[in-house]
A and B are shown apart, each in its own frame.
Chain A
């Protein structure tokens, strides 16, 4: 572990360049917006935002390779004790940041055309950038204080984005529920953080690990369950998922892609960063608790998903199911599988983020042309919009774990880790649920490709404009490449998990 004490903003910006680039773009966005508005070309703000994400992604990739090469994490100290904030640059966080930025980039590109008919694009893109800053920032955090601040930055931006089209009924209602539920969740998490502080006297991840492991059982459970609710409401697992099927479909499609693809992963990130190390070595029983939650989350959400006619709502439920899958890895990690558990969670986070992002963007393309979300109205879509339909199907089959797409590899790793941990039942529930999911996806495939096109599809169906296609192609190509050649991601996630576990080892 390399420790660096930072003295000035320049050093900081060098180490945290992906965030600083994003921040620099965000700060200038209002001015750019003003200029573009004067020119009457407001929609090109999307290009600017995409450019922000792209440059940050490039810098991040370099840093990712550097970290892989260094082989150990860098810890940054800023401020002075005891309110110093420590940040960490480790493969785990970088991997998350990588996922976050890829999906954000695709969503931003998609927004260029998708949002062209909307007003207030300046605030839309600004909020999108803030949300991404919050998310990417979260991956660097090493203490609960910084984590909470960035968490709120991300959360509040997302509240506004859900209700962005406030002239419609649905976003408003979903927004109200989302903000009330998620707000209370954040506060419960903060309550948990206050007790962490009360018991440990510090909020640093390592201190938490040592402090909490020494606690007796009852207070430990109390603190952890408060934290778990905070993370859980954001990650939407059983039984906290209720806001998600409202909020995610209500947002504009690129935002849905962000929310379902990466924002809920922030909760997973929190769990992996702050809960797995605490309980992962001593309290194996908590693995069983997580296993029960994972099983319930998957099964209930899957059953609910089967009934949807609204395609976005279907995808939202499928997100909950996949959160359940990711929790399999978490449960296995806690229950003794350690590295492979964390690695499988990371891999599934990757495949779900890309798959769900792609699915929502593809649906966005359908909505852009047909302005409907009802599955029964988009039957036979494959005839008129083959590219979009193919993207949707690749996304769904990828999520369902059809080889050779990333979902298969992550599920392979998930089963591996859960059996390695001895959680046979969980492995079976997991595989069974993926079977259940496949049923629905196949049924959807059949309706999209084989059914007679509806009149609406025949009249209005047309491939989307270039930016949407580009966004879809970006994610689709990554998914297919990783599906056929998963070695790099395997390497990244296993390395990330090893280094992460080493931190606390």
Chain B
């Protein structure tokens, strides 16, 4: 390990982020170099921790410590109710996540050199990207909930600023009816709703345990027992889960991610595919072992609460997977399809970790489910980054992300076609790409444990996934090239080396990634044995492949691929059937299409209830409180809500005095009602 690696990982990008304005004054080249160099340092430091984790011990200042090791700065916040420290945790999960963030971040930063070339506010871009990576590393390496929450808020903030990066709101960056700034705001609000739950539950856990430290929480279970005795355990855990629901865009807070695509594509790739949205999965994966250990020592006392929690997690994940995949089938923008697909795949991960929790009674199955979730996280990070970046290459070439502007690009962008094909095939789970192995692991566990409802739901989702993947492929690369009059076609070409190399690396990783899954398993083994007390067999590549290709689930996987590809192939690639004609012919299909295109009307309902509802409410208010004239209006997300409220402020002295008397009355009445 590089000395102080867990600290370097996150401090270097944050520090560099703040000196970017200074670097810009020296030279633009230096600034670009430093931005990438910071991420490189971060990635290398993260990688340097891998051998220690495999070995199971880490040497710090000449002393050898066991993994998981908690590197604390004592005395930061000694509270009488239980002190809180800044600390970095070195354990398989955090090091694994730090590497994903670091290396994929590095590739995306390299890609950005060309992609963002010539952008007028590139300093802001580098600054925010570095800031984001720093906070994300802080999030995954933090040793306690509070510091993790710092990172959590930090990435939310950076993501908000990056989604609204094109703040001038040119029409071409709009996603649907929403401008980039609106989208950023929406994303921030929706994830903040999740944060409300998260913060409250952290405080509750702190009240009961006197600590927020992960290791302390997993070594002393009094807090869990006390919470369970007060009947608060389930609700606390569900509140905690609200954070991941917001951050990982799970139902019912999934509506922000599609609009979040308004930012630059690199941002979508880094934040909304590979890293930040994984924070929710990470948190669930972080909490699950703690709960497992709690169950191991407290048993029946907390079992009902844990069951409630894990059933919710598994089903919210499963349902989101299906919901988002179905929306992805009809979407009309490349990035939006990928966004839905991200939501859907995140649903898979969360669902399978929930399933692992449901299998908590059997240590082996618990671990298998847990690793399945982690494996899928890893595969998805690779192929989704690849997909977004290749979508960026397509967008770079045609100047638009609308599917109707694409089509027939295969002969113009052959290399982009190749990498995107690999990405989509991995997403669909075609063997032997990494998506196949990780998805197979998920379905295998569900199949083996006879969890039929979830199995069927997730298999159906897999069919939809295959369908929309190949629909996307067909719509972008096959068919006739139209819209020649735009004149874009003259410079339709594959991107240059800075964009192409990361794409090729990611494509290569997608191809070989599946065969590395046994190594990932091995990465977690030591921790499982020492930390969780689970006795597991070592998996070699050979046994892994044998078990994968001899299990009956292989047939299911192949069936899924065939069922999914066939309609997509005949409609969008071969062009034998026309989607428009089909829709015209069958009114049922049309209805379904409409329903899916309107996103199950969930978005409309949200706007109806929260925006129009307040308008209705304020009209009533309006009738009672006189007003005239209007001040300057500000368009903000909540403007309609706030606009009418201000008529309370009438400016009449008399009315103010009446408020005082009413207030007196209110206090007395309240006290009487509540007191007697």
Contact = CB atoms under 8 A, between A and B. Distances in A.
Query: Are chains A and B touching directly in their complex (CB below 8 angstroms)?
Result: yes
Contact of B660 (A181, A286, A300, A436): A181
Interface stretch (B198-206, B337-345, B546-554): B198-206
Contacts of A438: 188, 192
Interface string A87-119: 000000000000000000000000000000000
A23 B363 CA distance: 73
Contact of A450 (B167, B638, B651, B653): B167
Contact of A285 (B79, B645, B675): B675
A443 interface: yes
Nearest to A218: B672
Nearest to A232: B663
A436 to B, nearest CB: 7
A439 B196 contact: no
A403 B200 contact: no
Interface in A433-450: 435-436, 438-440, 442-443, 446, 450
Interface string A366-379: 00000000111000
B104 to A, nearest CB: 26
Interface stretch (A146-154, A288-296, A466-474): A288-296
B636 A306 contact: yes
A420 B653 CA distance: 40
A184 B660 contact: yes
B185 A442 contact: yes
Contact of B667 (A184, A225, A283, A306): A225
A424 B637 CA distance: 27
B268 to A, nearest CB: 19
A427 B196 CA distance: 9
Nearest to B167: A450
Given A375-B634, A403-B153, A222 B200 contact: no
A225 B643 contact: no
B80 interface: yes
A185 interface: yes
A225 B634 contact: no
A285 B649 contact: no
Interface in B620-666: 631-634, 636-639, 641-643, 645-646, 648-649, 651, 653, 655-657, 659-660, 662-664, 666
A272 to B, nearest CB: 17
B637 to A, nearest CB: 6
Contact of A431 (B200, B633, B648, B655): B200
Interface in A27-60: none
Interface in A387-440: 402-404, 412, 415-416, 419-420, 424, 427-428, 431-432, 435-436, 438-440
A307 B631 contact: yes
A222 B81 CA distance: 37
Contact of B634 (A292, A308, A403): A308
B674 A289 contact: yes
Given A304-B646, A374-B632, A376-B632, A436 B638 contact: yes
Contacts of B670: 288-289, 292-293
Contacts of A233: 660
Contacts of A403: 149-150, 153-154
B576 interface: no
A280 to B, nearest CB: 14
Interface string B69-87: 0000001111111000000
A446 B181 CA distance: 9
A419 B124 contact: no
B193 A435 contact: yes
Interface in B170-213: 181, 185, 188-189, 192-193, 195-196, 199-200, 203-204, 206-207
Interface residues of A, number: 72
Interface stretch (A198-206, A259-267, A485-493): A485-493
Contacts of A428: 196, 200
A238 interface: yes
A484 to B, nearest CB: 9
Interface string A70-96: 000000000000000000000000000
A181 B648 contact: no
B668 interface: yes
B642 A286 contact: no
A307 B641 CA distance: 9
A69 interface: no
Interface string A153-196: 00000000000000000000000110011001100100000000
Contacts of A225: 664, 667-668, 671
Contact of A402 (B153, B189, B645): B153
Interface in A299-347: 300, 303-309, 340
A239 B659 contact: yes
B653 A217 contact: no
A177 B656 CA distance: 9
Interface string A483-504: 0011100100010000000000
A55 B634 CA distance: 44
A384 B631 CA distance: 28
A451 interface: yes
Contacts of A451: 167
Interface in A217-232: 217, 221-222, 224-226, 228-229, 232
A460 to B, nearest CB: 21
A125 to B, nearest CB: 30
B164 interface: yes
Contacts of B649: 242, 245, 304
Contacts of A228: 667
Contacts of B634: 306-309, 375
A283 B656 CA distance: 30
Given A289-B670, A304-B649, A435 B192 contact: yes
A243 interface: yes
Contacts of B78: 487
Contacts of A427: 200, 203
A416 B206 contact: yes
B671 A286 contact: yes
B668 A222 contact: yes
B676 interface: yes
B196 A286 contact: no
A229 B667 CA distance: 9
Given A217-B675, A415-B200, A307 B645 contact: yes
Interface in B74-118: 75-81
A236 to B, nearest CB: 11
B156 to A, nearest CB: 10
Contacts of B181: 446
Contacts of B203: 412, 415-416, 419, 427
Given A300-B648, A419-B207, A242 B674 contact: no
A240 interface: yes
A289 B646 contact: no
Contacts of A486: 77
B157 interface: yes
B160 interface: yes
A467 B674 CA distance: 52
Contacts of A412: 146, 199, 203
Contacts of B185: 439, 442-443
A381 B632 CA distance: 20
A206 to B, nearest CB: 24
Given A303-B645, A439-B637, A309 B631 contact: yes
B637 A221 contact: no
A235 to B, nearest CB: 12
Nearest to B198: A431
Contacts of A494: 79-80
Given A300-B645, A450-B121, 19 more contacts: A188-B660, A221-B668, A221-B671, A239-B666, A242-B656, A242-B659, A283-B675, A304-B645, A309-B631, A309-B633, A403-B149, A404-B150, A419-B204, A435-B192, A436-B638, A438-B188, A439-B189, A446-B181, A494-B80
Q: Which 3 A-B pairs have the closest CB atoms?
A: A306-B642, A285-B675, A309-B632
8 contacts: A217-B675, A239-B662, A286-B675, A289-B670, A304-B648, A404-B150, A416-B207, A485-B76
